[in-house]
Chains A and B, each alone.
Chain A
Amino acid sequence: MSVIPAELSYTTSHEWVSVEGDTYTIGLTDFAQDALGDLVFVNLPMEGDEVVAGEAFADVESVKAVSDVFSPVTGTVVQINEDLLDAPEAINEDPYGAWLVRVEEVSEVGDLLDADAYEAHCAQEA
């Protein structure tokens, strides 16, 4: 059973979002990291890049496959978690600590699930 913190919001494509003021922090869920397996590479956008809700903004590579990471919001990247570039395993070890990007100037938020709805979604996919 994967960990799904109650205070976060989720996408059906397995990203988590936390909101503090105007800042949206985005990462990959425990379910996602478990399905992907050991990550060996993370490709992040640049600070200042525009991201669009529902479109890929980053990709992660495991020994099995490369997978896109989709943005839950439309906005501007203000910070990226550079530590992940050298240590992608942090996402496997601590998915809710290892955030990918922080986005501000958000103009649109895509469809998000609360923890209960996301848990039901994961149960369906498992």
Chain B
Amino acid sequence: MKLLFERSVAGRKQTIFPDLDVPEATFDETLVRQSAPRLPQMAEVDLGRHYTELAKQTHGVNDGFYPLGSCTMKYNPRVNEQVAALPGFADIHPLQPEETVQGCLGAMHELEGMLAEICGMDAMTLQPAAGAHGEYTGLLLIRAHHLANGDTGRTKIIVPDSAHGTNPASAVMAGFTVVSVPSDAQGGVDLDALRAAVGPDTAGLMLTNPNTLGLFDPNIVEICQIIHEAGGLCYYDGANLNAVMGHARPGDMGFDCVHVNLHKTFSTPHGGGGPGSGPVGCKAFLAPYLPNPRVVERPDGTLAFSCSEQSVGKVRSFYGNFLVAVRALAYILTLGREGIPEASASAVLNANYLAHFLAEAGYALPYGERCMHEFVIDVGPLKAETGVSAMDVAKRLLDFGVHPPTMYFPLIVHEALMAEPTETESRETLDEFVGLMTGILKEAHEDGERLHSAPFTCPIGRPDEVKAARKPHVRYEFDEEG
């Protein structure tokens, strides 16, 4: 399709400006640019068509199945949008006096309380704008705790090798060094390796449970004990909370702080880059370090913002992505005490259903058919037999209007496809997916060579990722300079 600059026609514009009814200002000559900026010149209708054309080339949950593992691409109920659009939430200013936004403070306070209850924590902040931002914030709490104890030698964060890549990155951002511990044959944390890794320099552990293989670590209580006995703290990455909400709480497993992804577990929008939201919860002893300000209840029952002197400071402007938090609150209230655990149970049931029938179809499941909310297919055996890789299978799925599972992750399975159907997909959709995957398996055995050039129906098939990373071409080149 054409770029905006290629659609541009000199002199074309959309000029429906009202008359100037304020005095014209003059600026110092040094502040005024010498030539007009080179912007595309077009009518609003052309611009609208350009973006609609782009939008048609995307794939979202509203287009079709989206089993992208560890991303929890569940359907986002419309009622969330209706609630977030209420003028009392949407038409406010972040600097309004507290007494004029009591309803908004109430929504934040209520959501914090519900998330704390779901996670088994004592306090929450809604400030972090995404999951990795939450990880960073949680690690700052851990650092503040050790420093407050005069414990300056705790510089290492332990991360299992099945972790999300953001975990080690966040640890480094927060000033720690990372120690990686291997997984055992069952896909859980290797306890002996963990015992060998801890010491007086251990600041803490970051763990996703269930992990990226979709497996709940049965040794979780012992894992947290090992860390605590060494003087470290335990951080729960809530990326996979959708598997356990209402059934098991990180706080009860032994974790000291946690982040949740509202855009995964609590049905707020994922697409178009967000905005996301990664609230952080902690046990009471870490609460004084939470980012400022926090919503507190005054003795008269009204709500106010309060700042702690021991706080790690602000991690984002104002109060986080407030309207995203409102959507999550709407979701939790819609599902209620019975619906929240039922959503997790259905998510786990859907994943097990899919895992079972994909195994039956002939796909290799290296960690067995039983899983939590997601599971990993190993395309390695198929590749050895037919040459068809995880990439080829994923690309072929695009032809059928299905977003592929997460590819080549976790790294401990070399030809991984990680699938997470979520609870919002029907049995019919899951059956259809099994049918497509069975068909691709058949194609791989009949004519594997052909699958190397899939997809066949998409506007773009196999972009050169290496060239794009090494020599990115991100600036429009005009015909003539000037």
Give residues in A with beta carbon < 8 Å to B: 38, 40-41, 55-56, 61, 63-66, 88-89
Q: Mark B393-414, 1 if CB is under 8 A from A, else 0.
A: 0000000000000001001000
Q: Which of A64, A65, A88 has the most CB of B within 10 A?
A: A64
- Inter-chain contact B165/A63, CB cutoff 8 Å: no
- Inter-chain contact A63/B465, CB cutoff 8 Å: yes
Residues in A whose Cβ lies below 8 Å from that of B465: 63
- Inter-chain contact B408/A41, CB cutoff 8 Å: no
**Interface of B: prevailing SS:** mixed
B49 contacts A by Cβ under 8 Å:
no
Which one, A40, A55, A65, A66, contacts B466 given CB within 8 A? A40
- Inter-chain contact A40/B470, CB cutoff 8 Å: yes
CA distance A100 to B165 in the complex (A): 23
- Inter-chain contact B469/A66, CB cutoff 8 Å: no
Residue of A nearest to B472 (CB): A40
- Inter-chain contact A63/B469, CB cutoff 8 Å: yes
Residues in B whose Cβ lies below 8 Å from that of A40: 466, 469-470
Q: Mark B434-477, 1 if CB is under 8 A from A, else 0.
A: 00000000000000000000000000000001100110000000
- Inter-chain contact B165/A65, CB cutoff 8 Å: yes
CA distance A56 to B172 in the complex (A): 12
Residue of B nearest to A61 (CB): B469
Residues in A whose Cβ lies below 8 Å from that of B165: 65-66
Interface residues on B, range: under 10
> Can you list 18 residue pairs at the A/B interface with Cβ under 8 Å?
A38-B466, A40-B466, A40-B469, A40-B470, A41-B469, A55-B177, A56-B178, A61-B469, A63-B465, A63-B466, A63-B469, A64-B408, A65-B165, A65-B408, A65-B411, A66-B165, A88-B470, A89-B470
CA distance A66 to B411 in the complex (A): 10
Residue of A nearest to B471 (CB): A40
Interface set, chain B 169-198, CB cutoff 8 A to A: 177-178
CA distance A41 to B469 in the complex (A): 8
Residues in A whose Cβ lies below 8 Å from that of B470: 40, 88-89
CA distance A89 to B178 in the complex (A): 27
Residues in B whose Cβ lies below 8 Å from that of A63: 465-466, 469
Q: Mark B407-428, 1 if CB is under 8 A from A, else 0.
A: 0100100000000000000000
CA distance A55 to B177 in the complex (A): 10
Residue of A nearest to B469 (CB): A40
Residues in B whose Cβ lies below 8 Å from that of A38: 466
Interface set, chain B 287-318, CB cutoff 8 A to A: none
Q: Measured between C-beta atoms, what is the minimum distance from B35 to chain A in Å?
A: 33
CA distance A61 to B165 in the complex (A): 12
Q: Measured between C-beta atoms, what is the minimum distance from B73 to chain A in Å?
A: 22
CA distance A40 to B177 in the complex (A): 24
CA distance A72 to B466 in the complex (A): 29
CA distance A89 to B165 in the complex (A): 23
Residues in B whose Cβ lies below 8 Å from that of A64: 408
CA distance A61 to B408 in the complex (A): 14
CA distance A66 to B469 in the complex (A): 13
Given A56-B178, A65-B165, A89-B470, 6 more A-B residue pairs with CB atoms under 8 Å apart are: A38-B466, A55-B177, A61-B469, A63-B469, A64-B408, A66-B165
Q: Measured between C-beta atoms, what is the minimum distance from B70 to chain A in Å?
A: 15
Q: Measured between C-beta atoms, what is the minimum distance from B449 to chain A in Å?
A: 21
